[in-house]
Amino acid sequence: MTTQMRTSGIDVVGEMPWGTHVCLFYETKADLLATLVSYCKAGLESQEFCLWVVAEPVTVLEATHALQHVIPDLDGYLAERSIEIISAADWYLQGGAFHLQRVINGWNERLALALAKGYLGVRVTGDTAWLDKKDWKDFCEYEDTVNAAVVDQQLLVLCTYPLADCGAAEILDVARTHQFVIAKRQESWEIIETPGLKQAKAEMARLNEELERRVVERTGQLTVVNEELRKEILERKRAEDALHQTREELAHATRVTTLGELAASIAHEINQPLAAIIANADACLHWLKSDLAHMDSVRDALAAMAKDGDRAAEVVTRIRALLSRSSVPREPCDMAQLIREVHPLVGPELRRHGITLDASVTGDLPEVMGDRIQLQQVLLNLLMNAAEAVSKVSPERRRVRVRSSVEARDDGPWVVVAVEDAGVGFAKEAAARLFEAFYTTKPGGLGMGLSISRSIMDGHRGHLWATANADHGSTFHLALPAITRGPR
Amino acid sequence: MAEQRTPVVCVVDDDESLRRSVRNLLSSVGFRVETFASAEEFLESPQRAHAGCLVLDLRMAGMNGLDLLRHLAATGSRIPAIILTAHGDEEARRQSLEAGAVAFLVKPFRSNALVDAVRMALGS
């Protein structure tokens, strides 16, 4: 607050901070009036309380008239007591003599009152033409006290001295007891700074430099901290990516392991009867080559072969049943709802690759009969495939669309869901093999997803097929008979 | 009398269908064959004394094929063994050959391969 700059109203001074104590040496009454009128006007216009203590040769009336000349609404200011114009005799010499403490108290009371009334501060000017040589010493002490007291206060003090009445000794005393001196001599202004002010200014400059140095130093430190933070964020991102990759590898390994175990188990179950069939067949051939004595053995072996054939066929049937889970009870399913439920599962993966999912799913689709988990598995598989296909193309093509529709077919309405991507697509020659087990175009892919998905759709008496898009990518369609006409 | 001296091919497999088909195959080319449903059954059988070679399944309930091979080696029995398995991984092959097997065949095997392996085993 105290460092806030105020408009002095005196051209040569310009702005000055609160707490300024300055003295003015004047030669003529006209100079004095012109300067103080301007000084007070600036104060009134800046929401300051002004106190003008006048002395010979200026009277209260003259000062008032001079102010009225430049401030048309002076009467208003006077009425609300924003400005007081008071004679030096009434201010400094109350009771006939100068009393240092009384005068100081007077300033302080005015300041407290002004602040309480909402003024920003107090602007004072006092003339010293009344000063007798006998009071000089006391007055110097007073100025000294004022000089020390104004610091850190919302107070501006301009003391005016008639140059003609001051000898060299007085001028020196005055200069010493003020922060700076202004003088108007032969129409031109002079400004003389005291060593104290110079020192203060130098100190301020030094403090500013120090502040700037600290700002630079602190900025440097912040830059280092920022850089460290950036590195840390980068490091964390790397760690997260690594974790994600590890998770994916783990998931992949788990799938491979599970399928590997499944494949080993299937292989054993099928190879066992297959080995028996081959051995029996060759035994029969040997027997038939030699003579007819072994016809009974041949008959038995052939019966065993048929039995082993059935055994192998049963294994295949069991695997089919496992994949289509035909024994799972079906329930009416809302495909729109299933699509919405799959969103959160694929969301993180899509976001990670910056892929937009546009699901234009009709809310009033007829229900289909199915195993909701299996149908979601198919949707999930199609969405993940689409995401993988677009993750390799330019960002503007990273878009996956899910559309739903109802198709009227010969045997009634069907619900059709299409998963469309603008990704890498598939070659014409690959189209026929897309749904084959172990057929894959993806590095590290197992080629099981679409094969299992089609098994599931077959198990639901539905269809799953793929079409190549005209421009980019492919669309996978799944169709299921709507429930309205009952399951076929 | 000649039949008595003919060495017996002992087939040890817990899968009946395979046991019977291997017996059919080997007997159709003239070998004498005895079948056993487990390693324990073979060890307890008096036929063991006439065993010219073993056709042995690797994975069986109870004592498995490898255990039987190791047991025979430990008790000083030198019956050449042919391993038949549906789990044809490298580790199983290595372990079998280390335990003294003369051949390692993966199901489904070619009939000729088994017949040749048996001939070789009996010849040795």
Q: Read off the pLDDT of residues A181-191 as tens digits, 9 standing for 90 and up.
A: 888 877 788 88
Same domain, A334 and A293: no
Residue A69, both tokens: 């000349």
Q: Is residue A34 part of a domain?
A: yes
Give which of A163, A159, A170 is closest to A26, Cα–Cα.
A163
Of A488 and A192, which is predicted with more confidence? A192
- B87 interfaces chain A, CB cutoff of 8 Å: yes
Q: Cα(A49)–Cα(A77) distance, rounded to whole angstroms?
A: 10
Give B29→chain A minimum CA distance, Å: 7
Final residue in a domain of this structure, among A160, A175, A192? A192
- A466 interfaces chain B, CB cutoff of 8 Å: no
| pLDDT at residue A38 tops 90 | yes
Per-residue pLDDT of chain B (124 residues; tens, 9 = 90+): 344 567 899 999 988 999 999 999 999 999 999 999 999 999 999 988 889 999 999 888 778 899 999 999 898 888 999 999 887 778 889 999 988 899 999 988 999 999 999 999 998 5
Same domain, A411 and A364: yes
Q: Is residue A220 part of a domain?
A: no
Final residue in a domain of this structure, among A192, A217, A234? A192
Give A275→chain B minimum CA distance, Å: 4
Same domain, A182 and A292: no
Q: How far is CA A241 from CA A169, A246, B28, in A?
A: 84, 8, 64
With CB atoms and an 8 Å threshold, state whether B18 touches A275.
yes
Give A420→chain B minimum CA distance, Å: 42
Lowest mean pLDDT, pick from A91-105, A241-255, A372-386: A241-255
| pLDDT at residue A322 tops 90 | no
User: Which residues of chain B neighbour A283 with C-beta distances below 8 Å?
Assistant: 21, 24-25, 27-28, 111
Average model confidence (pLDDT) for chain A? 83
Q: Is residue A361 part of a domain?
A: yes
With CB atoms and an 8 Å threshold, state whether B15 touches A284.
no
Dump pLDDT digits (tens) for A300-317.
999 999 989 988 887 777
Same domain, A32 and A54: yes
Give the mean model confidence (pLDDT) for residues A7-22.
89
Give A309→chain B minimum CA distance, Å: 11
Lowest mean pLDDT, pick from A31-45, A111-125, A357-371: A357-371
Mutate to test the interface with B, among A270, A280, A289 (most CBs of B within 10 A): A280
ipTM: 0.87
**How confident is the model at residue B38, as a pLDDT?**
93
Same domain, A168 and A289: no
Same domain, A369 and A295: no
With CB atoms and an 8 Å threshold, state whether B86 touches A272.
yes
Same domain, A308 and A342: no
Same domain, A300 and A376: no
| pLDDT at residue A235 tops 60 | yes
With CB atoms and an 8 Å threshold, state whether A282 touches B25.
yes
Question: How would residue A47 be classed by pLDDT, with cut points 50, 70 and 90?
Answer: very high
Which string of b and e fits A148-171 if b means at least 16 CB within 10 Å?
ebbeebbbbbbbbbbbeebeeebb
Instruction: Give the percent of chain A with pLDDT over 70.
Output: 87
Q: Is residue A242 part of a domain?
A: no
- Boundaries of domain holding A98: 5-192
Number of domains in chain A: 3
Of A340 and A485, which is predicted with more confidence? A340
**Count of alpha carbons within 13 Å of A375, Cβ hemisphere only?**
30
With CB atoms and an 8 Å threshold, state whether A276 touches B17.
yes
Name the H helices within B14-80: 16-28, 39-44, 65-74
Give B52→chain A minimum CA distance, Å: 20
Q: Where are the beta strands (DSSP E) in A55-187?
A: 83-87, 122-127, 155-162, 180-185
Same domain, A316 and A340: no
Same domain, A300 and A336: no
Q: Is residue A226 part of a domain?
A: no
- B88 interfaces chain A, CB cutoff of 8 Å: no
Q: Is residue A301 part of a domain?
A: yes
Please say whether the beta carbons of A482 and A412 come within 8 A: yes
**How confident is the model at residue A2, as a pLDDT?**
46
Q: Cα(A410)–Cα(A16) distance, rounded to whole angstroms?
A: 96
With CB atoms and an 8 Å threshold, state whether B25 touches A267.
no
Final residue in a domain of this structure, among A277, A293, A323? A323
Q: Is residue A198 part of a domain?
A: no
Question: How would residue A132 be classed by pLDDT, with cut points 50, 70 and 90?
Answer: confident
The CATH number linked to A110 is 3.40.50.300
**How confident is the model at residue A257, as a pLDDT?**
53
Same domain, A71 and A31: yes
Question: How would residue A443 be classed by pLDDT, with cut points 50, 70 and 90?
Answer: low
Q: Is residue A235 part of a domain?
A: no
User: Which residues of chain B neighbour A282 with C-beta distances below 8 Å?
Assistant: 25, 28, 111-112
Same domain, A293 and A392: no
- B105 interfaces chain A, CB cutoff of 8 Å: no
